Structure 1
Amino acid sequence: MLCFILLCCVQVFAQSGLKSGTKAPEFSGTDNSGKTVALDQLLQKNKAVVLFFYRGQWCPYCNKHIQELQDSLHLLTAKGAYVVGVTPETADNIDKTIEKTHASFSIIQDKGYQIMKAYDVNYVLDQNTVTQYKNWHVDLEEINGNKDHVLPVPATYIIDNTGKITFVQFDKDYRKRASVADLLHALP
């Protein structure tokens, strides 16, 4: 397990994510329920958007984070926040994530990585890591439905209703995630 953790931490060097105070890039996608989710429309109807990126249903840290968000969703929505997750995994694997976590918020498959690229969270795994993942029964080609081997840094952004990023949790250590308490504190 330690080898797995070290291997995953070594892979992410180039990304820096977006900074608090910057204008959030627009995004649009179809969520797990078939609904179009667009940042500009979400900001017209909500005080803020909690946008988070996760690697996939195979990642226990992702599942734990999603479950925590789901468990506190009523607290986040009470502050006027709309929660949306972004992942490279296929729709079938998003369904597995939902089954594991009972997530009831929007999750978008970022097929071409436009959202991940716009928020500077995407990275490509090297072939040695891809092979090691396969040895651990994590076949990214099957899970993501392509041969790109792209994953996101599991980052979280809060975007206020003016479109400005007001909170950033970006850590290349995939085990570290934004706590619900931090999100609640940062929401308007």
Structure 2
Amino acid sequence: MTLQDKLDAMRDDFENGRFPLVPTRAQLQTMQRATQALIDSGQAENALRAGDRAPEFMLQDANGDSVSSRALLARGALVATFYRGVWCPYCNYDLQALEEVRAEVEVRGASLAALSPQTLANSRKSQRDTKLGFPILSDPGAAVAAEFGLRFALPNDLIEVYRQFGNDLPKINDDPAWVLPMPARYVIGMDGMIAYAEVNPDYTQRPDPAELLPVLNGLRARTQA
């Protein structure tokens, strides 16, 4: 079963009352309307893409240690994935799928890092729950996500639904703003240029991590030439 198969099955369970959290029809409609509005906004098309230079960043990992993109890129290519947070089951499946290919990524000389606006404590919880062998970096205010063109503000009706679900983003992120990154996956070469970009305003859709491997093969071949 592919990652997207798992996500589709989870979405079907959620929308048909087979999930621990059972939404009302009105809540579902609000969520679907917000996703469609984000798609229609065209923001994903304006995010950074392959051929653009990636912004540099320095963020804290779950242990509070500083991690810089420059240091990661000095060792090899970087796979950077932006995700919403520990509270998002789609994101957790995505992280687990990345962990499953981590060895394949690392054998190609690359490293993985996940970026989320959540607090360090929530990153630690996310790391424990998903048993990751790569760092989760805290991106306060989704500031780095904004540099990549990924940050968006939640509409008021969706904020109310999230509150009803108990997803208190100001508490989870220690930030009064109700902002999130669109889920995105980037491969950044050692030269700082983006070699692969996948951004989807529909958080239930994620690319298969296997797509990363040919890109990493190409980058490695280029550095060894």
TM-score (norm 2): 0.78
The letter of the residue matching 1:87 is S
Quote the residue 1:10 is aligned against. 36
Q: Which amino acid aligns with 1:57?
A: V
Alignment gaps of 5+ in structure 2: 1-13, 16-27, 220-225
Q: Distance between the aligned counterparts of 1:175 and 1:112, measured in 2? A: 22
Q: Which residue of 1 aligns with 2:62?
A: 32
Letter paired with 2:36: V
Matches within 5 A, 1:1-188: 1-2=14-15, 3=28, 5-10=31-36, 12=38, 13=41, 15=43, 16-46=46-76, 48-187=77-216, 188=219
> Which amino acid in 1 is paired with 2:35?
C
Q: 1:23 & 1:72 partners in 2: Cα distance?
A: 25
Identity of aligned residues (%): 32
Deviations 1:83-142 (A, max 9, x none): 111101111211221122111211111113321111110001122111101112211122
In the aligned structure 1, how far is the partner of 2:131 from the partner of 2:33?
29
Tell me, in whole angstroms, the C-alpha distance in 2 between the residues paired with 1:7 and 1:97. 28
Distance 1:43 1:103, change over 3 A: same
Give the Cα–Cα distance (whole angstroms) in 1 for the partners of residues 64 and 112 of structure 2. Answer: 16
SS at match of 2:141: coil
Following the alignment from structure 2 to structure 1, what is the Cα–Cα distance between the partners of residues 66 and 81? 17
Deviation at 1:14, TM superposition (A): 5.3
Instruction: Return the offset for 1:70.
Output: 1.1
Given that 1:85 and 1:106 are in contact with CA atoms closer than 8 Å, whether structure 2 keeps it comes out as yes
Consecutive aligned runs of 4 or more in structure 1 exceeding 6 Å deviation: none
- Asked whether the 8 Å contact 1:11–1:126 carries over to 2, the reply is no
State which structure, 1 or 2, has the greater radius of gyration over its C-alpha atoms. Answer: 2
Seen in structure 2, the aligned counterparts of structure 1 residues 11 and 111 have a Cα distance that, compared at 3 Å, is farther
Q: Relative to 1, partners in 2 of residues 1:112 and 1:142: Cα closer, same or farther, differing over 3 Å?
A: closer
Higher helix share: 2
Change (3 A) 1:87 1:66: same
Q: 1:21 deviation in Å?
A: 0.7
In the alignment of these two chains, the number of paired residues is 187
Question: Which structure has greater strand proportion?
Answer: 1
Superposition RMSD on alpha carbons, in Å? 1.6
Aligned to 2:22: none
Distance 2:31 2:194 in 1: 30
TM superposition score normalised by structure 1: 0.93
